[in-house]
Chains A and B, each alone.
Chain A
Amino acid sequence: MYKYSDFDEAFVRTRAAQFRGQVERRISGALTEDEFRPLRLMNGLYLQLHAYMLRVAIPYGTLSSAQMRQLALIADRWDKGYGHFTTRQNIQYNWPKLPDVPDMIDALADVQMHAIQTSGNTIRNVTADHFAGAAADEIEDPRPIAELIRQWSTDHPEFQFLPRKFKIGVTGSPNDRAVVKAHDIGLRTVRGGSGQVGYEVIVGGGLGRTPMIGQVIRPFVRKEDLLPYLEAIVSVYNLWGRRDNKYKARIKITVFENGMEAFRDAVEERYRAIRPEFTGIDQVLLKEIEAAFAPPAFRNTPEDSFEAARASDPVFRAWTDTNLAAHRAPGYAIVTVSLKAHGATPGDATSAQMRLLADLAETYGHGELRISHEQNVVLPHVHKSDLAVLHAALKTEGLATANIGLVSDIIACPGMDYCALATARSIPVAQEIASHFKALGLEEEIGQLKIKISGCINACGHHHVGHIGILGLDRAGVENYQITLGGDATEKAEIGDKVGPGFAYDQVVPAIERLLRAYLDIRADRSESFIDTFRRLGPEPFKAALYPAEAERDAA
């Protein structure tokens, strides 16, 4: 894993010290809230509905065991003993007190972590495939380039006051697990004609109020040209992006309003102008970073015990059926640990759970953990012969839920239980859906399904790209939930369509049940997933299930 250089260390410590001074001046009254607000946001500190919230970056979703333990310590010492993992590979603490935040930031710096640029109109935490460096389908580990982008974008003097926030996501595999087409810039690792690794650059994706799937601005950018090319894109956006209306300020609108052709021409022109300034030092750095991400020493031992355990323990077998993914090394598996126990808050982990995960990663997983945008924890490198004992250990902290990719593996933003921007709650909707389908015993029968819930139009819960998306709104002072169908977050990215009027809070679970019972009735066979049935038959049968009264009237 990447270790901070002396420069990184000094930079993060300096920022921590500056922020300590800023907090002191706010408390003494030397700074007004208007003066302090942009400073605290630059350091990831929000004021939410009931308390402050500190958002900490987990660059490209990668954590060491030591870092995970420190996150647990911070949760215990300065928060309420838990943390919330988000859809952008961050962790949020929901209850910090302002005078304690500088100590929390220092504690983060002790393990090479920070909260810089997790808010504000800057380039945010760079996200990546959570299976990076392990996935069997990977062309190249996307984390070294993500780290290089992190270094380039952190405190980049030109990009501290962009028209709006800016999100970059990277995938190293053709199967996109990083939702790159819904980012301001998405990078897909590809092989060029000569077999050389480079990037397909996608721009102008984004969810929120105006959801758009990103478009390819350049099908192939060589590795050594990537930083200047990114700099050219952000530079044109910085000039062209609208500052008159925050709802029209994201790059997706800039590209849409100017047209891709004009935008691309401007980027290419800017690129030609700045390319000579990149003399290759970034590539020297990249080589060092790549060395830091060298794969661990995988062991070559028999995996017979794995099959034996599967045969003898149906609970273990069920878990291995849902929570494992193919690893590139023989005998290894990628383990996704669900933070979606039925009825639990999606993405929340207690400090005890974090410590257990840190220990297990150390003992069985080469000391590495990942946080997925789907709000689960990944142990990327576990030998199959260790899985049974790992599973037994996970059970002790309620971490052995076998539901990855199923109806209860729901993405949900914090919603109005925490967020000051939210228009409705999302967490309890997720909790109730998960508990309800477990009680019905239908989860396994329903199979692969992505439900994603946002508590406002900003779409932190990615509802637009859920097979079933749920959007909580405030309709005349009452919570109301819109359902969209047919979204897709993968390389086949698709924005879901709204199918009809919204549902009251207590009508959401029954509506989802009608929808899924209809799916079970009309699917071709068990192997046809919800989204495949939807693609085959279109929205009509699902619409009829959601709105039975209307369907009856239409039929009459």
Chain B
Amino acid sequence: MARAFTPKVVTANALLEGDVIYLTADDRWTRDHHEAELIEDEAHAQLRLLKAEAQRLTVVGAYLADARPGPNGPEPVHFREVFRTRGPSNYAHGKQETSHV
């Protein structure tokens, strides 16, 4: 029996700032994991990834990351993805900054 598909989000880095971004269901890029499209179907995930990879002027290094539903939208599963949603732990930089883009 095929293994159950773990839901995914499409994530990448923004070309100009390098900031972590996520693909939304309405084809925008958001900097907030909760706004990402939670993809529950493997074939759909591949299509969404292809769409992301084609946006060469906007994004770098798109990939599918495991995610799960949460009360405010999709949440990361792996700790690496958790760090990517906020920034480093030694300074309140990255997405932890109030002035963050």
Contacts and interface: CB of A to CB of B under 8 A. Distances in A.
A29 B81 CA distance: 28
Nearest to A31: B56
Interface residues of A, number: 30
B97 to A, nearest CB: 9
B26 interface: no
For chain B, which range describes its interface: under 10, 10 to 19, 20 to 34, or 35 or more residues? 20 to 34
Given A27-B15, A97-B17, A417 B90 contact: yes
A51 B84 CA distance: 10
Contacts of A95: 93
Most chain A beta-carbon contacts within 10 A, residue among B15, B16, B60, B90: B90
Interface string B43-72: 000000000000011001100000000000
A341 B42 CA distance: 49
Contact of B16 (A27, A348, A431): A27
A50 B16 contact: no
Contact of A417 (B15, B17, B83, B95): B83
A416 B82 CA distance: 11
B87 A50 contact: yes
B5 interface: no
Nearest to B62: A33
A192 interface: no
A479 interface: yes
Nearest to B17: A97
Interface in B82-101: 83-84, 87-91, 93-95
B80 interface: yes
Given A27-B15, A477-B78, A50 B84 contact: yes
A508 to B, nearest CB: 14
A80 B93 contact: yes
B20 A98 contact: no
Most chain B beta-carbon contacts within 10 A, residue among A29, A48, A49, A425: A49
A49 B15 contact: no
B32 interface: no
B56 A427 contact: no
A348 B93 CA distance: 14
A266 interface: no
Given A47-B60, A47-B61, A417-B83, A98 B15 contact: yes
A38 to B, nearest CB: 14
Contacts of B90: 345, 348, 417, 427-428, 431
Interface in A308-358: 345, 348
A537 interface: no
Nearest to A425: B89
Given A427-B90, A428-B89, A477-B77, A51 B19 contact: yes
A418 B57 CA distance: 24
B30 interface: no
Contacts of B18: 47-48, 50-52, 97-98
Contacts of A47: 13, 18, 60-61
A32 interface: yes
A474 B80 CA distance: 9
**Interface of chain B: mostly helix, strand, loop or mixed:** loop
Given A52-B18, A477-B78, A477-B79, A33 B88 contact: no
A52 B20 CA distance: 11
Nearest to A417: B88
Contacts of A51: 13, 17-19, 94
A28 to B, nearest CB: 8
Contacts of A479: 79
A218 B54 CA distance: 53
B61 to A, nearest CB: 7
A478 interface: yes
A554 to B, nearest CB: 34
Contacts of A32: 56
A219 interface: no
Contacts of B94: 50-51
Interface string A502-527: 00000000000000000000000000
Nearest to B61: A47
Contacts of A428: 89-90
Interface string A18-38: 000000001101001100000
Nearest to B94: A50
A99 interface: yes
A50 B61 contact: no
Contacts of B84: 49-50
Given A95-B93, A427-B90, A33 B80 contact: no
A93 to B, nearest CB: 12
A418 B88 contact: yes
Contacts of B13: 47, 51
19 contacts: A27-B15, A33-B60, A33-B61, A49-B20, A50-B20, A50-B93, A50-B95, A51-B13, A80-B93, A94-B93, A97-B16, A98-B16, A98-B18, A345-B90, A417-B83, A425-B83, A427-B90, A428-B90, A478-B79
Given A50-B19, A50-B84, A474-B79, 19 more contacts: A27-B57, A47-B60, A50-B18, A50-B88, A50-B95, A51-B13, A51-B18, A52-B18, A97-B16, A98-B15, A98-B17, A98-B18, A416-B83, A417-B89, A418-B88, A425-B89, A427-B89, A427-B90, A474-B80
